[in-house]
Amino acid sequence: MLVLPDRDTAEEVAEALGERFGVTEEPRLVRDALAGEDDAEDAQWLVVLRDEERRLDPDALDGFAAEWDGWREEP
C-alpha cells in the first residue's frame, strides 16, 4: 500500500506503476481521512496493490513512493 498526499497524485502513481513495475492489475484508490479531521483536504490517498507473489521489491516501492512525497506501508 502506498500512502500519498492527494487524489491527483494517487491517480498519477497508479498509472505510473504499470510503466515502472509492470503492474497489470489496476490498483485500488482509497481516501483515508486523517483521524479527527472532517475536511476533505485533510485526507491522504492510498494506492492499494496486490502482490501475492511478492514480485515487487519493497525498497524500490519505497523509493518510488518517496518520489511522489509519499511512503509505503505494509497492510
**pLDDT value of residue 73:** 93
Query: Would you state the cell numbers that stand for residue 33, as one nine-digit string?
Result: 481521512
Tens digits of residue pLDDT in 2-60: 999 999 999 999 999 989 999 888 899 999 876 555 555 568 999 999 888 888 999 99
The residue segments making up the domain with residue 19 are 2-72
Domain count along the chain: 1
- Global pTM reads 0.83
Query: Would you state the cell numbers that stand for residue 39, as one nine-digit string?
Result: 475536511
Q: How far apart are CA 55 and CA 1, in angstroms?
A: 14
Average of per-residue pLDDT across 57-69: 96
